[in-house]
Amino acid sequence: MTRDPRYDVLFEPVQIGPVTARNRFYQVPHCNGMGHVMPNSVAAMRGMKAEGGWAVVATEECDIHPSSDVLPYREGRLWDRQDQERLALMVDAVHAHGSLAAIELMHHGHAVSNRYSRLPVMAVSDMAVAGYDPVQASAMTRRDIANVRRWHRKAVLRARDAGFDIIYVYAGHDLTLPMHFISRRYNRRGDEYGGSLENRVRLTRELLEDTRDAVGDTCGVAFRFAVDELMGDEGICSAGEGREVVQMLAELPDIWDVNVSDWANDSVTARFGEEGDQEPYVSFVKHYTSKPVVGVGRFTSPDAMVTQIQRGVLDMIGAARPSIADPFLPSKIEQGRLEDIRECIGCNICVASDWTQSPIRCTQNPTMGEEWRRSWHPESMNERGASKTVLVVGAGPAGLEAAMSLGRRGYDVALADRTEGGGRAVAEAQLPGLASYQRVADYRLGQIGRSANVRFYPGSEMDASSICEFGADHVAIATGAQWRRDGMGRATWQPVAGCETHPALYTPDDIIAGQRPERGPVLVYDDDHYYLGGVIAELLAETGLAVTLVTPGPEVSHWTQNTMEQHRIEQRLLEMGVMLVCKQTLAAVSPGQVQTRCNVTGRMQQRDAVSLVLVTIRAPEDALYFAVAGQDEAQLADLPFTLMRIGDCLAPSTIAQAVYDGHRFAREIDERPDPDAVPFRREQSLIESGNS
């Protein structure tokens, strides 16, 4: 297949100071939950992006000094020579595929508490640190400013010596010292670094000039700047000081990397933001500089990318999340394989990895974060084992991924489902804001449809007899899970009395199937704490019903703090008139009412609920598995085929985890790992002897 000439512009080289990017695809800095703790994993992950055609591949934020210690988060570090050697692994992995390696240097100022280094926190002014730590930051003296400039310069030189091609000065989001100096919210100084915008920009200008002086003509200098904080007059605004900063510094960097702030705005979920939604804020930048401009917008459509270039909005297509969902997105466009692109669904499960301090993962790309520790490649599978045929029962996220991946390995695969396929991904895509979840099914069904050795049988109801008669070498049961109707959940370990007799009780399965409460008030009880409880409350409020959302959590949809959308969910529900009740656990149910218990005081309270929606936990649909395996799996050893449960049928979780479990099953089908051994490589700390 050949490239569509409409996309030729995307593959033009771009000059970035003394270095040249081979095309216009730029993986902007993004966190990954691995950072300085797992340098081999990071290097393999970034190297995969370069192999996939990204011309520039950047690190995550890299702290320049122990006074900017971001523990507990696993970001990059460039404190000393050892850190330089760790980062050089990534440089080598990126250079091996002809791409440029970029490093984002930063000092966090008051955005950290220095929990590891225990050094005093420095800030532009005397203030509390960000968050809720009982720690305050000290206003920087001129000596402190000189120290930061020196530390930054030393980090620049280490980065150059590590082989990086592009070195950042970072004033993006609300996390960086240069931005803190620029911001009127934080900068209350009365010296030459405070007051006028020119004074507040002084440190940023000095860091850019210091970086240029340090690297000369060996590296490109990038400046990442949040041109708008979406706070109106209270913050940097693209119609005001954001524009003025660009004018002041227009020709100093070799490339402008522009976005909006903070991170929750820069990486907004698909539920609350569309592809390319940063354009209104960043499109002015090219009018004030002759240097190339890169920006982001969760771009997955090559047509949208081309229009950004042709209309003079951007020179390079920046991506974090789309490069995670498909590291080979540029190559697929270049090869004319648009139907093979795994499009980002904007769920931010990748972002959650950073907030939960765990290796990065992706709903669409189950190999993300596994490049080094499991040697998984997103575009190639290990060769087929000794067996040949596999039957997969259930075409939800796990079953689809398993069937598709087994087909790529060379197995003859039969995929059966009583529906048209897609499982919960297709079902949930019908709900407000979740349409992009359809991509999980569409990509895999499309790949299966073009596979010569995977046959899909929609509308096929399998039972134990038909499975045993099929004659496959392996059988995977991927029949999913159903939401419980008895109130049992995370806060309630037993069924709740009265649920079985409530005359108008619903679960998410009922709502998705089109059933709706006819009368209110409706009480949505959310003991799931992810997105679904809030989505259902929103859906019902749209119909005009009086809705109350009750949760045992400290806030509604609490886990979505990790996907950076909790505040938006709460705001939307309040604006729709939904009453929100937190820290209350369901205790008893009766017709027309429920009883809840305060998590703090234990006090009981009656609440009107003509209709009740329970969003608690799901029960695996495993009856078919045990019909074949026997009670206590007593018949497994006697079966002429291997039998396994995968995905939600085994352990209900996120869609990302279901996809991952289906992929892992496909990788390991003929070579099951030793259950007593660690099934992947680990990165472990060096044990030093003596008192060195």
CATH code (residue 416): 3.40.50.720
Give the count of alpha carbons within 13 A of 338, CB side only: 9
SS3 404: helix
Residue ranges in the chain modelled with pLDDT below 50: 692
Residue 342: Cβ-neighbour burial (10 angstroms; 0-12, 13-18, 19+) = buried
Give the pLDDT score at 174: 86
Contact residues for 373 (Cβ-Cβ < 8 A; gap 6+): 41, 359, 680, 681, 682, 683
Considering its fold, how many domains does the chain have in total? 3
| Whether 433 and 496 share a structural domain | no
Structural domain for 457, as ranges: 389-480+621-668
Query: Is there a domain that residue 399 lies in?
Result: yes
Residue 487 to residues 583, 598, 654, Cα–Cα distance (Å): 16, 16, 20
Residue 561: Cβ-neighbour burial (10 angstroms; 0-12, 13-18, 19+) = middle
Decide if 170 is catalytic.
yes
**How many residues appear in the chain?**
692
DSSP 515: -
| Whether 70 and 139 share a structural domain | yes
| Whether 122 and 262 share a structural domain | yes
Task: Give 671's strand partners.
Answer: none
CATH code (residue 121): 3.20.20.70
Query: Is there a domain that residue 191 lies in?
Result: yes
Residue 238: Cβ-neighbour burial (10 angstroms; 0-12, 13-18, 19+) = buried
Given the residues 83, 254, 257, 266, select the one marked as catalytic.
266
Given the residues 69, 152, 165, 170, select the one marked as catalytic.
170
Give the pLDDT score at 75: 94
Query: Is there a domain that residue 576 lies in?
Result: yes
Given the residues 31, 237, 344, 362, select the one marked as catalytic.
31
Nearest to 142 by CA among 181, 196, 184, 186: 181
| Whether 567 and 475 share a structural domain | no
| Whether 507 and 409 share a structural domain | no
CA angle, 426 then 431 then 437, to 5°: 40
Residue 46: Cβ-neighbour burial (10 angstroms; 0-12, 13-18, 19+) = buried
| Predicted TM-score of the model (pTM) | 0.96
Query: Is there a domain that residue 363 lies in?
Result: no
Decide if 266 is catalytic.
yes
Query: Is there a domain that residue 674 lies in?
Result: no
Query: Is there a domain that residue 687 lies in?
Result: no
Confirm if 447 and 406 have CB atoms less than 8 A apart. Answer: no
CATH code (residue 551): 3.50.50.60
Given the residues 36, 108, 152, 173, select the one marked as catalytic.
173
Query: Is there a domain that residue 568 lies in?
Result: yes
| Whether 594 and 513 share a structural domain | yes
Give the pLDDT score at 690: 65
Give the pLDDT score at 635: 94
